[in-house]
Amino acid sequence: MNPAPLVALVGNPNAGKSALFNALTGARQKVGNYPGVTVERHSGRMALPDGRPVELVDLPGAYSLDPSSPDEQVTRDVVTGTQTGERLPDAIVVVVDAANLDNHLRFTLQLVALGLPVVVALNMIDLAERDGLTLDPNVLAQELGVPVLPTVAVRRRGLDALKEALATVLQQGPAHPIRPSDHPVAEDIVTLQRRARALSEKATVSETAVRRWTHRLDAVALHPVFGTLLLLAILFVMFQAVFAWSQAPIDWIQGGMDALGGAVSAALPPGFIRSLLVDGLIAGVGAVVVFLPQILILFAFILTLEASGYMVRAAFLMDRLMASVGLSGRAFIPLLSSFACAVPGIMATRTIDDEKDRLTTILIAPLMTCSARLPVYSIMIGAFIPARDVLPGVGLQGLVLFSLYVAGIIGAFFAALILRKTVTKGASSGFLMEMPKYQWPHPKDLLLGLWQRALIFLKRAGTIIASTTIVLWLLLSFPKPPIGSTVSPVDYSIAGRIGHGIEKVVAPIGFNRDISLALLPAMSAREVAVAAIGTVYAIDNPDQPAGERNLIQNLRTHWTLPTALAFLMWFVFAPQCISTIAITRRETNGWKWPAFMVGYLFALAYIAAGATYWIAVAIGL
C-alpha cells in the first residue's frame, strides 16, 4: 500500500504554521529529529474530507529559500526534496500572515515556483480585519495560480475549505514532474519584493489610512537594518540633546542656588548653623538639583517614544538580539524601564513567565544606566571632556555620554550570555507582542508625565539626598582639627578616617580621597556621590565665597583625567543603590540572588574602573 501523502506546512516565522498544524492534527502528533541537525521534526496525521489520511509536517519558519540558519536549511531541503530522512512532499500548505502580506508573499512566490501542488492559507485574517484591512483571496488565487483560503488557525476557522482544496490539488498532482533538487530559476530579491508588493496591492480591497501608514512606518521601523539604524539614531539624538538643550536652564538653577547660598551666608553669623545650611544642605542638594533639566529632557524622549507607539517596535526589533544572548524579547520592556530606574524595571519582570529568563533579567537590570547616574556622568563629563564638536553637530560630550550608556548595555549582554550558560541555565522562550497603533503623543499627558518625574526627583533631593548630605556633613565636620593644625578638616573628621580605610581598597584602581568619601553615602542614591563631593569641597575650603565654589573647577584642579574616567566606569557597573538590592530581595524571595548580584557587579565595576585607569595612565592621558 502507498504511504499516506506527505503535506508540509511552510511559511515565514510567526505566520501561524504551528497553530494551524495543531488545529489540523489535534492530538495525533509525533516529535522526532532531523538526522544530523538539532532541528525537531513535528509530524501528525489528519484526514481529508473523503476520509483519506495525510501525513502533515510542520516546518520551521523561513524568510526565503536561501537559508541563513539550520532551521531555514531544513525547510529549504524538505521542499526541494534534498533533506535526508524526509521524502519530497506531495503538496505544501503555504501559511501567510494576512496582515503582513507583501513580506510573506515574497517567500510564497518562491515556493509556488517550485512546482509542487500548493494551497495558500491566508491566516490571521481576523487580525487584518480588526486593523481595517480587507483582502480578496480570489484575486490572490488568480494571480498566484493556486487556491487561497482565508483561515484563523487559533479559532479553527476555514479549516474545512482548506482540507477540501488540499484534496483537490493532491488529486491533480504536480504541474510537471518534480525531481529532487529541481531548482526554479532564482529570481533576485528585489524583483521578488516588487512582485510581492504589486500582488498584495492588487489583492487589497480596502485599507484604512491608519493601517496604510502604520504599515509603511513599520516597514522601516521593523526592518532589521534600517530599523536598527533608526533606533540607534534616535538614541544618539537623545543623548546629544541631554547636553545641548540643558545648558541655559542649568545656569539659571546654578545661579539661583549660588544666590541662595550667598544670601544665607550674609544673613547668618559664621558658625555651626551657617555651615550646616550653606556647606551641607545648599552645597549638597544644590549640586544634585541642577541636573533636573537633563533628567527632564531624557524623560521627555522616553515618554514621547512610549506614547507614540514606537517603544514596542523597538522591543520587537531587539527580540532577535535578545534571543542571541539567551534572553526573552519580553525582557526588553523591563530593561528599558531600568533606564529610568532599576526598581520599576525589576518589578516589570513579572511579565516574564520563565523563571530563569526572569532571574537573568533581574540580575542584569542594574547595568542599564538609570537616571540617577546622569548627575554623576554629567558632572564628570562637564569637568573633563571638552565641549567641542567631533563632527559638525556631534558634540564630544554627548558622544561620551552615549558610550557610557552603550558600555552598560554591552556589559549587560555579556553578563546575560555568561549567566545563561552558568547560574541561570535553561531553555529560553519565544516572544510575541501586539503592535499598538502609531499616534501623536498628547502634549498634556507628556507634560503631566514630566511633572511627575520632576516631583519624584525633587522629592528624592529633598529627602534621601538632603538627609544623607546632612549626615555626611556632620561626619565630615567633626571632630574639628586643633587650631593651628595643618591637617585638612576633612581628613581629620570621622568621615575622613572612614574614607581613608576605603581608600586602601580602591587606591589600586586610581580612586582618590574624594571618591572614597563619596562611595559609602552614594549607596543611598547614586546622585549623592555628586552631593558628597560638593560638600567635601565646601568644608575643605571654608574661605571660598559660595559663588566661586564651582564644583567643576574644584574637580579640574584636584582630579586627574584617568581618575575621572575610572570613576565614570565604576558608575557604569557598580550596584550603588540600596533600593535596587531591596527590590531584588523582594522579587527573588531571599538574600541569595541580591548577594550574588551585588558581588558580581562590584567585581565587574572594580575590574572595569581599574582597567580604565591603568590604560589611561599608560597612554598618557
Ligand X SMILES: Nc1nc2c(ncn2[C@@H]2O[C@H](COP(=O)(O)OP(=O)(O)OP(=O)(O)O)[C@@H](O)[C@H]2O)c(=O)[nH]1
Q: Which residues bind ligand X (CB under 6 A)?
A: 11, 13-19, 60-61, 123-124, 126-127, 152-154, 432
Torsional sign, CA 96, 101, 104, 109 = positive
Partner that binds at residue 16, options ligand X, Mg ion, none, CB closer than 5 to 8 Å by kind: ligand X
CB of 77 to ligand X, least distance (A): 16
Q: Which is nearer to Mg ion, 32 or 508 (CB)?
A: 32
| DSSP-derived pairing of the beta strands 40-47 and 53-58 | antiparallel
Residue 191 has which C-alpha cell?
524583483
CB of 122 to ligand X, least distance (A): 9
Closest to ligand X by CB, 6 vs 9, is 9
Q: Which does 489 bind (CB under 5 to 8 A by kind): Mg ion, ligand X, none?
A: none
Cβ at position 329, least distance to ligand X in Å: 12
Q: Does 429 bind Mg ion (CB under 5 A)?
A: no
φ and ψ of 45, to 5 deg: -105, 145
Nearest to 90 by CA among 62, 123, 55: 55
Please, which residue, 16 or 496, has the CB nearer to ligand X? 16
Rule CB under 5 A: is residue 304 a binding residue for Mg ion?
A: no
Which CB, 20 or 407, lies closer to ligand X? 20
Size of the site for Mg ion (CB under 5 A): 2
Binding mask 216-235 for Mg ion (x = CB under 5 A): --------------------
Q: Whole-number minimum distance, CB 4 to ligand X, in Å?
A: 22
CB of 17 to Mg ion, least distance (A): 5
CA distance to 224, 328, 431, 613, per residue, from 320 (Å): 9, 9, 10, 35
Min dist. Cβ of residue 124 to ligand X (A): 4
Interface segment toward Mg ion; rule CB under 5 A; list 15-23, 26-34, 217-225, 542-550: 15-23
For Mg ion, the closer CB: 328 or 535: 328
Q: What residues have CB less than 8 Å from 275, skipping those under 6 apart?
A: 473, 477, 539, 542
Q: Which residues, in sequence order, are bridge partners of residue 152?
A: 157
CB of 148 to ligand X, least distance (A): 15
Looking up cell 553615602, which residue turns up? 521
Q: Which residue has the cell 550574588?
A: 596
| Whole-angstrom distance, CA of residue 109 vs CA of residue 192 | 8
In angstroms, the CA 240 to CA 401 distance is 8
Which of 430, 542 has the CB closer to ligand X? 430
- Report the nearest approach of Mg ion to the CB of residue 41 (Å): 12
Q: Cell digits for 89?
A: 512532499
Torsion of CA 58, 60, 64, 69, to 10 degrees: -160
In the structure, how many helices (H) and strands (E) does the chain have?
A: 29, 11
Q: What is the 3-state secondary structure (H, E, C) of 238-265?
A: HHHHHHHCCHHHHHHHHHHHHHHHHHHH
Name the binder of 403 from ligand X, Mg ion, none, CB < 5-8 A by kind: none
Quote the least distance from Cβ 76 to ligand X, whole Å: 14
Closest CA to 538 of 581, 490, 583: 490
Binding partner of residue 19 among Mg ion, ligand X, none, CB cut-off 5 to 8 Å per kind: ligand X
Q: Is the dihedral of CA 22, 24, 27, 32 positive or negative?
A: negative
| Choice between 42 and 358, CB closer to Mg ion | 42
User: Sign (positive/negative) of CA torsion 518, 521, 526, 527?
Assistant: negative
Smallest gap from residue 415 Cβ to Mg ion (A):
30
Smallest distance from ligand X to CB 394, Å: 40
Q: Taking CB under 5 A as the rule, does residue 18 contact Mg ion?
A: yes
SS3 call for 433: coil
246 vs 178: CA distance, rounded Å: 68
Part in contact with Mg ion (CB under 5 A); list of ranges 12-20, 150-158, 353-361, 477-485? 12-20
Residue 354 in grid coordinates: 520563565
Q: Taking contact as CB under 5 A, which single stretch among the options 13-21, 96-104, 472-480, 592-600 is the one that binds Mg ion? A: 13-21
Mark the segment that binds Mg ion (CB under 5 A) among 16-24, 87-95, 492-500, 523-531: 16-24
Give the CB-nearest residue to ligand X: 61
Q: What does 610 interact with, of ligand X, Mg ion, none (CB < 5 to 8 A by kind)?
A: none
Those residues whose C-beta lies under 8 Å from the C-beta of residue 107, and which sit 6 or more positions away, are 10, 11, 12, 62, 63, 64, 65, 94
Comparison of 69 and 142: residue with beta carbon closer to ligand X: 69
* Strand residues in 405-551 grouped as ranges (E): none
User: Which residue pairs from 610-619 have beta carbons closer than 8 angstroms and sit at least 24 positions apart in sequence?
Assistant: 610/508, 610/509, 610/510, 610/566, 611/569, 612/562, 612/565, 612/566, 612/568, 612/569, 613/509, 613/510, 613/562, 613/563, 613/565, 613/566, 614/510, 614/562, 616/561, 616/562, 616/565, 616/566, 617/510, 617/562
With CB under 5 to 8 Å by kind, the binding choice for 193 among ligand X, Mg ion, none is none
Q: How far is the CB of 14 from ligand X (least distance, A)?
A: 5
**Cβ closest to Mg ion, residue 124 vs residue 257:** 124
Segment near Mg ion (CB under 5 A), from 10-18, 65-73, 279-287, 513-521?
A: 10-18
What, of ligand X, Mg ion, none, does residue 126 touch, CB below 5 to 8 Å by kind?
ligand X
Give the footprint of Mg ion on this chain (CB under 5 A). 17-18
